[in-house]
Structure formats: C-alpha cells, structure tokens
Amino acid sequence: MRKGSSIVKQQTITVSVRLDGKTFWHFMWFDAFILRKRLRRPAAFAAIFAAFALLAFFSGQAQSTLLGTVLLLAGLGLPAVYVGSYLADVHRQAKQANLKARPLVYTVRLDVSGITVTNARKKEEPLRLSWQEVAQAFRMKDCVYLYVTAQKAFLLPEGQADTPDEALWQMLVRNLGAGKCQVHR
C-alpha cells in the first residue's frame, strides 16, 4: 500500500472491456489526429490554398475574385471532406460492431509477467505479451489506451477493471516505466 493512500498493489488486474461508441470514437480521434498527427497535411493544404486565395483577392486583376473564391473553397472544402469521411467511417465501424449495446469485446489480464488479452468475439488463442513488448500507454479522461504495438491498442475504459482506475494506471507505470506512460486529460 502506498503511504497515505488506499491503493493496494495488486498482483493481477483483470479488465473485462465493454466498449461503447463514445469511447471508440474518442480513441479513433486520438489515434488518427493527435498521436499520428493526420491533420497536419490537410491543415497545410488549407493554409497554402488560403494564402493563394488571399493573393488572388488582393491582386486587383480581372477575375481574381473568382479565382480566390475557387482556391478558398478548394482549400477549405477538401480537408473538410477528408475529416468528414474519416468520421463517417468511424461511425460506420461503431455501428457495424454494434457498440450501442456495449458488448464484451475482450478481457485484458495484467500481472507481473505481462498482459494477456482474450478476445470475447472470436475463438482464438489469447495474446500474451511481456511488459517489454508493450509499446506505450496513454491515460485519457475516461480510458487508458494500451498500445501493444505502434499500430494496435487495447482500450481499458474507466471503471471496468476489478480494481480502482488509479491502481490500474500505477501498475502500468510500474511495469512499463514512466517514459512509456503519458497522461492526456
């Protein structure tokens, strides 16, 4: 037990993950636009087109207002379509997975040797990884994103572990190291 705290260092923590659409949507936004920074290129595209649109507006040439308007619409419209189509795809995936019903998706068991993930939707061998094989963890306001590789993460929503959320996070920090654990609120 930590001094002045009621958090007990548990040897094994089990998280039976029931995933909902909101948690899935937050994760997909974080993964694409914050972690992988996929908004950089659309933002740069919009900025370049907006700059050329401004040049056209202030050039004073014939038809420059029309050219500036076309450039501005393309510069803002194409990135908006990109983000909109991505979000529509996320919505489609959540609907296809029937996340409105909050199904049991997988169970994550964390212990001193590593993590074991058992898929609740498919019959397959459990995934077992040592702590050294786990890439990183991000603690969000309502969920922990446990990346087992740079491309694959398991979501550990708040309140679904058999221990307090702080004890779960402390176990991750203790076993992964503070360098692999980041808090994003």
CATH number at residue 175: 2.30.29
Contact 167, 182 (CB under 8 A): no
Residues 112 and 40 in one domain: no
Instruction: Report if pTM > 0.85.
Output: no
Residues 179 and 113 in one domain: yes
Strand-pair partners of 118: 107
Residues 61 and 87 in one domain: yes
Burial of 178 (0-12, 13-18, 19+ CB in 10 A): exposed
Q: Is residue 1 part of a domain?
A: no
Boundaries of domain holding 177: 13-19+103-183
Q: Give how many domains the chain has, as a whole number.
A: 2
pLDDT at residue 10, rounded to an integer:
62
Strand-pair partners of 138: 145, 182
Judged by phi (left if over 0) then psi (alpha if -120 to 50, else beta), residue 37 lies in left
Mean pLDDT of 116-137: 95
Query: What distance lies between CA 178 and its chain's CA centroid?
Result: 19
Residues 52 and 89 in one domain: yes
The 10 Å CB-count burial string (b at 16+, else e) for 136-163 is bbbbbeebbbbbbeeeebbbbbeebbeb
Contact 19, 142 (CB under 8 A): no
User: In the chain, what percentage of residues exceed pLDDT 70?
Assistant: 95
State which of 68, 96, 124 marks the end of a domain: 96
State which of 50, 76, 96 marks the end of a domain: 96
State which of 96, 111, 133 marks the end of a domain: 96
- From residue 91, give the alpha-carbon distance in Å to each of 35, 88, 115: 20, 5, 29
DSSP state of 116: E
Residues 92 and 127 in one domain: no
pLDDT at residue 4, rounded to an integer:
42
Q: Residue 122: pLDDT band by 50, 70, 90 thresholds? A: confident
Q: Is residue 124 part of a domain?
A: yes
Q: Is residue 28 part of a domain?
A: no
Q: Is residue 90 part of a domain?
A: yes
